[in-house]
């Protein structure tokens, strides 16, 4: 019997390593004919160790692989896992793939626990989903249930209709708690399709993070077995080809690990191998889904940040100054104080509701012309029709519609978002010898999206071009903003300057100052300039000509009947 142990040290190929080590430890009590086989598995274990750790550490783990190590508090035997009676034999066959972080650290921990509680009710021997072994003409299919049985049980025990039950079952299959035995697409149908429960060892609550080397071993092992039910799908074959190219120098180790797993699988019962193969396939269908399927292992960054907590200052508010102030978690008294302040703000509003309503109404009326729900656009929507006139019209800078030019007068942001409007505005600024303001503002804006390796070079370029003492295109900033930027540039010439509970750009002060100057001075003068008025009048003339052409046909051809 293979003894599976869960190692606390993360390994790129720990699945095959655990099988190889366990086979090595068990082969010491076999006959002399099996000693050559144990040597082969020991070589595979040593090959795995060569990928991640020194040979001496691996030798120590190999010597102690017969029992659970006392130095590893998180080590546990796979035989201790709570598995359903129909799958009890699988507990001894699943070695550790990876050592994952604590389940409580996952933002989906509560969701997993709710699903697992429901799975526990489904696997109840008396009142659960009926799990049975189906006999066919030549073979037996062990430990399965149909989609109809699953939906019927959920409608009976969960007080839901068939559509709701089907939706819940589909979500549970997407997370890998149950799976179809003959399909890579993890979904549930209300028919006689066969499904199987996943062993608790492979549940997502264990926070698995398998790597590409583990996936390469799994795919290569299936290729070596030459069985029809283990044949690779098209996307798996393509993935294996990419992995072979990626791990070309390590492929000898991967081959030995896959060979060691194959030899260990041959010692198992035939029905046991079928269940284990399907459960391992379902595990990889969750973590390496087929094209077109949703990857449920991806975490929402917002949920991760909320689950880890957000540090704040000792005063209970975000501080933008005082870098020496220590950040601590807020106490109960501070939270109560903040609640009282928020209640006072609710009682005493900063702005009147009438003013807010008036501003909202004015905004809605202003943009109603540009909302296709209220005003039919000139060109049809290319997303719901086959016409591309809308995109073609946007590409042509000469034929700018009148409604688009009017939108430039809404705000500076609307003007800069339009490529044609931005081009017209930069021409106006160049005439007034202030075009460097817009170029500086755009350079700082683009700085935030540059790759890390280009940031330092671009920061130096912006400083030398716009803010140095002998800059060729100096921008007009106040002395205070210049001093702040100069200090940040000398201390940390990178993309971001970290302050207490806030992240600010090292050019933030002059960046905001220049934008304020353009908004209050240059932008208002541009709207009053002849340049904008002429462009607006030309758009009006083009619109009127288009209206006439829709009525009168301009042609030099005479009607032959009029002669």
- What confidence tens digit (pLDDT) does each residue in 277-289 have? 999 999 999 999 9
CATH topology for 400-547?
Answer: Regulator of G-protein Signalling 4; domain 2 (1.10.167)
Q: Degrees (nearest 5) of the Cα angle 265, 269, 273? A: 50
Q: What pLDDT is recorded for position 100?
A: 47
Look at 167 and 443; give whichever has higher pLDDT: 167
pLDDT at 521 over 50: yes
Average pLDDT over every residue of 526-537? 90
Please give the residue that has the higher pLDDT: either 143 or 39. 143
pLDDT-derived band at 209 (thresholds 50, 70, 90) equals confident
pLDDT at 529: 92
Angle between helix 35-52 and helix 14-26 axes, rounded to 10 deg: 150
429 φ, ψ to 5°? -65, -35
pLDDT at position 468 is 84
More confident site: 192 or 25: 192
Cα dihedral sign, 156-159-163-164: negative
Domain locations along the chain: 14-99+208-268, 103-206, 310-350, 400-547
Which residues does 250 contact at the CB level (< 8 Å), separation at least 6?
Answer: 51, 213
**104 compared with 81, residue with greater pLDDT:** 104
- Token pair recorded at residue 517: 């100057």
Q: What's the whole-number mean pLDDT along residues 534-549?
A: 66
Give me the helices (H) in 123-233, please. 147-157, 162-174, 212-225
Q: What is the CA radius of gyration of the chain?
A: 34
Quote the pLDDT of residue 496: 52
Q: Which range, 4-8, 212-216, 383-387, 396-400, has the best average confidence (pLDDT)? A: 212-216
pLDDT at 486: 79
Average pLDDT over residues 521-525: 92
Q: What is the pLDDT of residue 195?
A: 95
pLDDT tens figures, 287-317: 999 988 888 888 777 777 766 665 444 444 4
Q: Is the pLDDT of residue 121 over 90?
A: yes
Q: Which residue has the tokens 């076999």?
A: 30
Across the chain, mean pLDDT equals 74
3-state secondary structure of 72: coil
pLDDT of residue 139: 84
Quote the pLDDT of residue 34. Answer: 43
Residue 447 pLDDT level (bands cut at 50, 70, 90): confident
Say what percent of the chain tops pLDDT 90. 32
Query: CA–CA distance from 480 to each of 145, 311, 322 (Å)?
Result: 73, 30, 18
pLDDT-derived band at 397, boundaries 50, 70, 90: low
Residues 6+ apart with CB under 8 A from 511: 440, 441, 444, 445, 505
pLDDT of the residue at 364:
93
340 has pLDDT over 50 = yes
Of 17-21, 39-43, 67-71, 117-121, where does mean pLDDT reach its minimum?
67-71
What integer pLDDT is reported at residue 544 of this predicted model?
58
Q: Which residue is it, tokens 């460097």? A: 436
Residue for token pair 């009006």: 540
At 120 the pLDDT is 94
Q: Which of 185-194, 209-218, 302-311, 520-529 comes out lowest in average pLDDT?
A: 302-311
Query: What are 286's two structure tokens?
Result: 């969750």
Fold (CATH) for 103-206: Arc Repressor Mutant, subunit A (1.10.10)
Phi, psi of 524 (to 5 degrees): -65, -40
What strands, in cross-sheet order, belong to the sheet with 140-146? 132-135, 140-146, 194-197, 178-180
319 or 405, which is more confident:
405
Whole-number pLDDT of residue 196: 95
- 523 with 408: CB under 8 angstroms? no
pLDDT band at 228 (very low <50, low <70, confident <90, very high): confident
Lowest-confidence pick of 95-109, 193-207, 354-368: 95-109
> Is the pLDDT score of 535 beyond 90?
no
Across 72-86, 235-249, 377-391, the highest mean pLDDT is recorded for 235-249
Q: Which residues of 488-520 are buried (b: 16+ CB within 10 A; e: fewer)?
A: bbeeeeebebeebbeeebbbbbbbebbbebbee
pLDDT reading at 562 higher than 50: no
Q: Tell me what pLDDT residue 507 has.
A: 62
Per-residue pLDDT, averaged over 148-173, amounts to 93
């Amino acid at each position: 019997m293979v003894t599976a142990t869960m190692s606390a040290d993360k390994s790129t190929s720990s699945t095959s390593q655990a099988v190889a080590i366990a086979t090595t430890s068990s082969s010491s009590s076999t006959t002399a004919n099996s000693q050559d086989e144990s040597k082969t598995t020991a070589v595979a274990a040593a090959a795995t160790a060569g990928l991640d750790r020194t040979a001496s550490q691996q030798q120590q783990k190999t010597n102690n692989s017969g029992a659970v190590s006392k130095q590893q508090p998180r080590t546990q035997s796979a035989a201790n896992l709570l598995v359903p009676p129909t799958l009890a034999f699988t507990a001894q066959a699943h070695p550790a793939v990876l050592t994952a972080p604590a389940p409580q650290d996952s933002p989906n921990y509560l969701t997993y626990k709710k699903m697992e509680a429901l799975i526990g009710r489904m696997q109840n021997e008396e009142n659960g989903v009926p799990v049975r072994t189906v006999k066919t003409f030549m073979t037996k299919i062990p430990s399965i249930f149909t989609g109809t049985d699953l939906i019927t049980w959920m409608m009976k025990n969960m007080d839901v209709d068939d559509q709701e039950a089907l939706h819940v079952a589909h979500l549970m299959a997407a997370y890998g708690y149950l799976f179809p035995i003959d399909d890579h697409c993890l979904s549930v149908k209300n028919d006689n399709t066969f499904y199987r429960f996943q062993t608790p060892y492979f549940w997502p609550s264990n926070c698995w993070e398998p790597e590409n080397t583990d996936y390469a071993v799994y795919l290569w092992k299936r290729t070596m077995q030459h069985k029809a039910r283990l044949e690779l799908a098209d996307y798996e074959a393509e993935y294996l080809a990419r992995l072979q190219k990626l791990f070309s120098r390590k492929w000898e180790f991967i081959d030995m690990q896959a060979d060691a797993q194959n030899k260990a699988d041959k010692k198992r019962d035939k029905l046991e191998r079928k269940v284990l193969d399907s459960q391992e396939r379902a595990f990889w269908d969750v973590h390496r889904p087929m094209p077109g399927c949703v990857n449920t292992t991806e975490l929402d960054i917002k949920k991760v940040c909320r689950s880890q907590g957000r540090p704040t200052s000792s005063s209970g508010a975000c501080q933008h100054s005082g870098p020496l102030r220590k950040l601590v978690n807020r106490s109960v008294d501070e939270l109560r104080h903040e609640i009282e302040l928020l209640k006072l703000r609710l009682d005493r509003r900063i702005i009147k509701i009438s003013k807010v309503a008036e501003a909202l109404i004015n905004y809605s009326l202003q943009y109603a012309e540009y909302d296709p729900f209220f005003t039919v656009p000139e060109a049809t929507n290319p997303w719901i029709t086959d016409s591309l006139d809308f995109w073609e019209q946007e590409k042509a800078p000469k034929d700018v519609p009148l409604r688009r030019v009017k939108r430039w007068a809404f705000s500076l942001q609307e003007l800069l978002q339009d490529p044609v409007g931005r081009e017209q505005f930069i021409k106006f600024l160049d005439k007034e010898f202030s075009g460097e303001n817009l170029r500086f503002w755009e350079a700082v804006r683009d700085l935030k999206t540059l790759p890390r390796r280009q940031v330092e070079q671009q920061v130096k370029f912006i400083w030398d071009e716009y803010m140095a003492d002998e800059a060729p295109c100096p921008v007009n900033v106040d002395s205070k903003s210049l001093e702040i930027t100069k200090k940040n540039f000398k201390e940390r010439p990178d993309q971001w300057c970290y302050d207490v509970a806030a992240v600010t750009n090292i050019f933030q002060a002059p960046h905001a100052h220049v934008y304020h100057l353009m908004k209050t001075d240059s932008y208002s003068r541009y709207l009053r300039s002849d340049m904008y008025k002429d462009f607006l009048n030309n758009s009006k003339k083009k619109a009127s000509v288009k209206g006439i052409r829709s009525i009168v046909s301009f042609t030099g051809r005479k009607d032959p009947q009029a002669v």
